[in-house]
Amino acid sequence: MKKEGKKIKLSKEEFIYQVVISTVLVIVLICCVIPFLYVVGMSFTSEGEMIERNYFVIIPKKPILAAYSYLFTSTGFLAGLRVTFVRTVLGVVAALILSVPLGYTLAQENLPFKKSSMLFFIITMILSGGLIPSYMLMNKLHLLNTFWVYIVPGCANTYGILVVKLFVEGIPNDIMESADLDGASEIQKMIRIAIPLLKPTICALGLFAAVIHWNDWFTTMVYVRDAKYYPAQFIVRNLLTQSTSGEMMSNISTYARMTSKSMKMASVVVGVVPILCVYPFLQKYFISGMYTGSVKG
């Protein structure tokens, strides 16, 4: 890193360079933010204003909430958010409940069959049965069309096992040895020593699992038919891919009426806002988690 804080006079070349990269970054940031703002704007735009402004509206003059009230009252979206919320919480538990103890176990230096056990787990990262046999398995286990199809298969978190193993191996030996002298069992050592030391890592793993669960729609598409188990993202997906949005209130002024597009955009907004709300608080965990993966995967 360069020395910060010291005000050194920049050479002309350096100054030009700073201007260039700043400009590039400003453009990149605009490209990141504008699409989202446009979507937000659209979600508040009424049909009347769309027609008046020739279907090209970035910031509506008279924003309306019709799209949102339709979304929350007539599409099962609230129930979807509830499904998403519950599966996210349980999904995080599932992602950690096997991988943390397994990672700890596989980190033990003298564990008999350590190498072959590692191989057993790692193979599943590069070879999988694919959709067809998985579908049959879920059928056989009576998980098809149930809420638990979101949770139970999620205990397989091989990446988590590897990360936890790596970090437990990094715990200094003397800490573990002094616990041995105190007569602590392996389980006690795991719960009292390793897990507290691994808190940031476990947080990061949990957060990644939470994002996966929050964003998942594909599991529903393959395994779930029953609308009462639809998570929010799947409902958004359905709203986006259907060509018309069904019946819209017809006997009110066009300036209070939403378009099918504004309804679609409202669903997109509601799909990301929760993530945007928690992201600033959790950013450091995400990034430390990613660093972890990159130091030695």
Partner 1 sequence: MKNDVKQKFKKYRLLYPILIIGIIYYIIFMYIPILWGFIISFKNLKVGGTIASAPWVGLDNYRQVFADKEMLKLVKNTLTISVSRLVFSFIPPILLTICIFDLRNNAFKKISQTIVYIPHFFSWVVIYGIAFAFFSGDGFVNHVISLFNGGKTIDFMTSTKAFVPLLVGSQIWKEAGWGTILYFAALTSVNTELYEAAKIDGAGPIARIRAVTLPAMIPVITFSLIMSVGSILNNDFEQILLFYNAAVYDVGDIIDTWVYRVGLGKMQYGIGSAVNMMKALVSMVLIVFTNSFSKKVTGRGMF
Q: Which residue has the tokens 């300036």?
A: 255
Question: Which one, 10 or 89, has the nearer CB to partner 1?
Answer: 10
Nearer to partner 1, 104 or 251 (CB): 104
Cα 96 from Cα 49, distance rounded (Å) = 50
Residue among 251 and 280 whose Cβ is closer to partner 1: 280
When the beta carbons of 232 and 251 are compared against partner 1, the nearer one is 232
Give every CB contact of residue 141 below 8 A, 6+ residues apart in sequence: 152
Q: CB of residue 274 vs partner 1: minimum separation in angstroms?
A: 10
Determine the residue type at 57.
V
Q: In whole angstroms, what separates CA 130 from the centre of its chain?
A: 22
Residue 13 Cβ, how far from partner 1 at the closest point, in Å? 4
As given in the structure block, the two tokens for residue 57 are 């509206």
Nearest residue (CB) to partner 1, 78 versus 290:
290
CB of 270 to partner 1, least distance (A): 10
Distance CA 170, CA 173 (A): 9
- Give 18 or 73: the residue with its C-beta nearer to partner 1: 18
CB of 85 to partner 1, least distance (A): 15
- Contact between residue 158 and residue 164 where contact means Cβ atoms under 8 Å apart: no
At closest approach, how far in Å is the CB of 247 from partner 1? Answer: 21
Provide the β-strand partners of residue 258: 46
Cα-based angle 166, 170, 173 (whole degrees, multiple of 5): 135
What amino acid occupies position 294?
A: S
In whole angstroms, the minimum distance from the beta carbon of 267 to partner 1 comes to 7
Cα distance from N-terminal residue to C-terminal residue, the chain: 25
Q: Quote the least distance from Cβ 66 to partner 1, whole Å.
A: 18
Q: How far is CA 272 from the centre of its chain?
A: 10
- For residue 29, CA distances in Å to 22, 32, 276, 278, 281 come to 10, 5, 16, 20, 20
Nearer to partner 1, 116 or 251 (CB): 116
